[in-house]
Amino acid sequence: MTPAAPIETDSTAETPAKRGMSTRQRLLFFLTAWLIALMPFLFWWNTWFGRHLSDKQIAEYLQDNRHPRHIQQALVQMSERISHHDTAAKQWYPDLVRLAAHPVEEVRNTDAWVLGEDTSGQGFHEALLKMLNDPSPLVRGNAALSLVRYGDTTGRPQIVELLQSRKISASITGRVVDADRPGTPIRQGGLIAKLQNDQQTIEVRSPISGRIRTLFAQTGQTVQAGAELATIDPAVDQVWEALRALYLIGQPDDLPAITPYERELPEIPDHIRKQALLTDKAIHDRANTAH
């Protein structure tokens, strides 16, 4: 049996000519590619707090309740102006007092810091004292730190609170359907775990930035309402500012919150340990002088 001959193709046969992109298609292609590359830059440009704002923009941003980040950006630039003794910033001082009661926590938190930049600002001291009762621990802490610049030690308990770990409890009885891991860095509002029962699923989020020290339940376990779910250690920057403030106003009663940071441990940066030791010594020196 003679094997079948292979199928041959006629190389001379006509094939459809390849059509190139039209000028309009090329323009659309390049425009789309350009927009894709531009969008991340525009996002960064609109959210970067270092971008210079004109006086008109600051005035507008301070009133932009629809975009809290605009308010924060204006506050950051006001802080820079005040620190450089720019008297033009005084025109917005009433806004700083007003924003101390803003509904968005991040705005109040930034405002509490800026209110400490000029201790001569009318109404600043009083606004900071009210912020010591803010529902947010970070706002209370920033207000207390700013009060130190006024020579006011009223916020000392709130500063000590900045050094302490936060215990997170389960708000419902439910099964852990998702959970992060101990040792994981976490930002304020970051997800720690999800709890689920027959009625609902809730997200357990961190009230502070820091690091998850312990997690008392793993995925699949059931926890009871009120049971301790996690412990969050405060962020390094927060600890640093608190230790520096207590160096100036700390009392012997504050030492139990300070001494854990004097240990040589991998999770305690060297500059934190040194500041804790300096703060400890300053408190003891003040106590000895007082006696």
Intervals of CATH 1.25.10.10 along the chain: 50-154
Which residues does residue 215 pair with via DSSP β-bridges, in sequence order?
230
Could you tell me which residues come within 8 angstroms of residue 195 by beta carbon, excluding any fewer than 6 positions away? 170, 171, 172, 174, 175, 176, 177, 201, 202, 204, 223
Q: Which two tokens stand for residue 90?
A: 């005084």
The superfamily CATH assigns to domain 50-154 is Leucine-rich Repeat Variant (1.25.10.10)
CATH topology of domain 166-232: OB fold (Dihydrolipoamide Acetyltransferase, E2P) (2.40.50)
Q: What is the predicted pLDDT for the residue at 6?
A: 39
Strand-strand pairing, 191-196 and 201-205: antiparallel
CA distance 203 to 127: 33
Please give the model's pTM, rounded to 2 decimal places: 0.78
**Regions in the chain scoring below 70 on pLDDT:** 1-51
The beta strand positions in the chain, using DSSP E, are: 166-169, 174-179, 185-186, 191-196, 201-205, 210-215, 222-223, 228-234
Query: Would you state the pLDDT for residue 29?
Result: 58
**Between β-strands 228-234 and 210-215, what pairing exists: parallel, antiparallel or unpaired?**
antiparallel
Q: Which residue has the tokens 């130190």?
A: 148
Residue ranges, comma separated, of all CATH 2.40.50.100 domains in the chain are 166-232
Distance from first CA to last CA of the chain, Å, rounded? 119
